[in-house]
Amino acid sequence: MAGKKVIPIGRTMTTRQRLVASVGRVLAREGFKGFGLGKVALEAGVDRRVISRHFGGLAELVDEFARSPEFWPTTAEIRAGMEAAGPGDGPEGQLAAFHKGFLRALLNRPQTLDILAWELMERTSVSRMLEQARVRVALECFEGLTGETPDAPGLTGIVAVMGAAVLFFAVRARLGGHFGGLDPNDPADLARIDTAVDALVCGVFSRL
């Protein structure tokens, strides 16, 4: 029957989804130091005791939010672009595709960018939990690299620096648009950033 849900969504699942979504709204609006279970419950419109019936505590609730695709791009989402680059492009082409796809995925998640902006100013146990989930996705993506990857100690640092640049560009675009004359929300400027990423990655690999 058209429009019929394959998996019915009952009250329990709906409540869990509301609580997870409320985590993102509270973090985006109030930051990490203003975050707490009481505010999540208020945002979701439920009694605080309801959270304990669906989650073991703060850590479990935050972990589910951190793993949700609404907050962070999934491994499959990022690797799709890397696989499109093809093994013929070598690991450098796939690595460039990772950073370009990563930037686009972040730009499509404005709430995530608001949370990342808070993270630059506030570091708490909750921010570290979100960071661990992000690291997991990155590692899973890099495990899928094909071709001969240089065994150079500097490669990890280079990937970290480029990842930081992508994060900064995305957050800066959310807060104020242009940086260095480029706005990644503008298709023409995004294409220029793509070209720069390709050049940087190829240049780095040629020196390893």
Predicted confidence (pLDDT) per residue in 99-134, tens digit: 888 899 999 999 999 999 999 899 999 999 999 888
> H-helix or E-strand containing 29?
helix 11-30
pTM above the 0.85 mark?
Answer: no
The CATH T-level fold of domain 15-67 is: Arc Repressor Mutant, subunit A (1.10.10)
**Do the beta carbons of residue 150 and residue 205 sit within 8 Å?**
yes
For residue 182, the cross-strand partners are 179
- What is the distance between the alpha carbons of residues 112 and 11, in angstroms, rounded to a whole number? 27
Give the per-residue pLDDT at 92: 80
Give the per-residue pLDDT at 38: 92
Sequence-ordered list of residues with C-beta below 8 angstroms from that of 51, at least 6 positions apart, any chain:
19, 37, 40, 41, 61
State the SS3 of 107-152. HCCHHHHHHHHHHCCCCCHHHHHHHHHHHHHHHHHHHCCCCCCCCC
Sign of CA dihedral 48, 52, 56, 60: negative
- What is the distance between the alpha carbons of residues 180 and 155, in angstroms, rounded to a whole number? 26
Q: What is the pLDDT along the chain (208 residues), one digit of tens a residue?
A: 344 334 344 445 588 899 999 999 999 999 999 899 999 999 999 988 889 888 988 899 999 999 999 999 888 888 777 766 555 567 788 788 888 888 999 999 999 999 999 998 999 999 999 998 888 888 887 776 666 665 656 677 778 888 888 999 999 989 887 888 888 889 999 999 989 988 888 887 776 6
**Do the beta carbons of residue 173 and residue 185 sit within 8 Å?**
yes
Specify the domain boundaries for CATH 1.10.10.60 within the chain. 15-67
Give the per-residue pLDDT at 3: 44
